[in-house]
Structures are given as C-alpha cells and as structure tokens.
Structure 1
Amino acid sequence: MADEFMKGFALFTIGGLGWITFGGWYRTPSYYQVSQLVNPAEGVNTAYGEVGLLAGDVLFWLMILGALTFWVLIPASRQLRDALDDGDDDAAAN
C-alpha cells in the first residue's frame, strides 16, 4: 500500500508543480488578482504558447487522475478482487 501511495503522491506533486508553473506563465495576468491560475489565457500568439497551455492542462489532469488512480481505484480494485476470491474459496469448500 505504501508503494501505491508514493506513486500517487509523486504524480500529484509533479502534476501540481507543472500546473502551477505553466499557470503562472500563461494564465496569470497580474499577481494582485484573487483568481490567478484559473483565468483564461491571454496573449498567446505562438505555437510554443499553445504547447505551454496544453502542457498545463495535461499536468493538471495528471495531478487529479494520477492521485485518484493510485489512492482510490487500485486499492478498491484489490479489495474487490480479494472479496470475490474469498467468495470463490467458500463456495469451493462446500
């Protein structure tokens, strides 16, 4: 279980730091505004800017889905598999 936690934490950390970095570059017009990382992108006129916006969105979803996968989905699937295997063992013993 600790292995899955660390994998999820690593994806959460890498995705979060990347999202904050690209959000700071492309989605923060002023550091004095309340909403900084969720603003629409302004003034992105180059292909590199579009790649930066795409990278920020990909890293955001890596942060969310990576942690969700390793913290919730994999442990839940293992417990479901163990519960189903226990039911098969009880049926085979009778």
Structure 2
Amino acid sequence: MADEFMKGLALFALGGLGWITFGGWYRTPSYYEISQLFGPTQGVESVYDSVGVFAGDAFFWLMFIGPAVFWVLLPAGRQLRESMAEDAAN
C-alpha cells in the first residue's frame, strides 16, 4: 500500500513540475498578469513549440490521472477482486 502511495505522489510531483515548466515557457506572457499557466499559448511557431505545448497539457493531466490510478483505481480493483474471490469460495 505504501508503494502505491509513493508512486501516485511521484506522478503528482512529476506532472506538477512539468506542467509548471512548460506552462511558464508557453502560457505565461508576463509575470505581472493574473492569468499565468492557464492563459492562451504564446509564441508557438514551430513543431517543437507545438510539442512543448502538448507536453505541458500531458503533464497537467498526468498530475491528476496518475495519483487517481494508484490511490483509487488499483486499491478498489484489489478490493473487488478479493470480494469476488471470497464470494466464489463460499
């Protein structure tokens, strides 16, 4: 159980740091504006910039989906499998 918590926490931290990095590069026009990291993309002129914007979006979703998998879905699946095995044994 502790290893699943750490895997989820690592994915949360990795996703958050990646999202902040790519968001700072492509979505923050000025540090004095209110809408940082969620604003429209700025300066996307090449394929590499498009890949950077996509990577930022992927890290954003990794920050939420990664922990949800390790903290909710895997333990729920194990509990379901154990209860089904108990029902089959009875």
- Give the structure-2-normalised TM-score: 0.93
- Higher CA-based Rg: 1
Alignment of 1:5-16 (within 5 A): 5-16=5-16
1:39 lines up with 2:9 in the alignment: no
C-alpha displacement of 1:43: 2.1
More off after superposition, 15-24 vs 56-65: 56-65
Q: Partner of 1:27 in structure 2?
A: 27
Q: Which runs of 4+ in 1 moved over 4 A?
A: none
Q: Deviations over 1:7-56 (max 9, x none)?
A: 11111111110000000010001111222111110221122211110110
Unaligned runs of 5+ in 2: none
**How many Å separate the matches in 2 of 1:45 and 1:5?**
40
AA in 1 matched with 2:74 = I
Unpaired runs of 5+ residues, structure 1, are none
Structure 2 match to 1:75: 75
Q: Structure 2 counterpart of 1:57, which letter? A: D
Query: Taking every aligned residue pair, what percent have the same amino acid on both sides?
Result: 62
TM-score of the pair, normalised by structure 1: 0.90
Number of aligned pairs? 90
Q: CA RMSD in A?
A: 1.0
